Amino acid sequence: MKLSKSVTAMHEYVEQQNLKKEEKERRKREKKEAAEWEEAEKVRQEEKEARATEKARKCAEEQKKAADAERERRAQMKKDVDISMAPFTPFTRGALERLRYRNKMIDALKALDVVELQKCCKAEGIPYNGKIEAVLDIADVKVLIRFGTTTQGADNVICIEESEDRGGKSDRDARPDEVVA
């Protein structure tokens, strides 16, 4: 009996040792996998940061190119065009006043609902063809009432031949031995 107890005790002891050994190997394997996972995660994070940095660099480079192009365009525009306001003429003042009045009328009419616009159209004798058309048509009628027609008088057009007759000599009038400056 003693011997069988010793054998079973020895067998249990060996099994416990094997279990401890397997547990130790499992923990070692888990630590190794965790370290590998952390290393892979670190590499992924570094790659992500590198992509973000590259993207930010490209974006900054594009913005710089766009800003340079805009500066160059503005510099060229300053060279090409002398920006100066032409003096207002009576016609341009009238046109601006007319446009401002029309815009005010459109803004006022936009606030009206459909029924009110239909009443306005009926009062002005304008067919109602939808809100936008009605607003624009009513505004145009009110502008015409206030400012009159939009047409100007006919300008005097002088033909080239007539202008040469009125002016001094032309190149055609010069003799072949004369030089016209």
Other Cβ atoms closer than 10 A to 180: 10
Q: Does 140 reside within a domain? A: yes
Q: Does 7 reside within a domain? A: no
Q: Give the C-alpha separation, 101 to 167, whole Å.
A: 44
Q: Does 134 reside within a domain? A: yes
pLDDT given for residue 148 in this prediction: 80
Average pLDDT over residues 155-171: 56
Burial 40-75 (b: 16+ CB within 10 A, else e): eeeeeeeeeeeeeeeeeeeeeeeeeeeeeeeeeeee
Q: Does 127 reside within a domain? A: yes
DSSP for 90-126, please give it.
HHHHHHHHHHHHHHHHHHHHHTS-HHHHHHHHHHHT-
Q: Which two three-digit tokens encode residue 130?
A: 């939808």
Q: Does 101 reside within a domain? A: yes
Q: Does 58 reside within a domain? A: no
Overall number of domains in the chain = 1
Q: Which domain holds residue 145?
A: 91-150
pLDDT given for residue 9 in this prediction: 83
Q: Does 100 reside within a domain? A: yes
pTM of the model: 0.37
Q: Does 112 reside within a domain? A: yes
- Indicate the range of 36-40, 87-91, 110-114, 153-157 predicted with least confidence: 153-157
pLDDT given for residue 164 in this prediction: 57
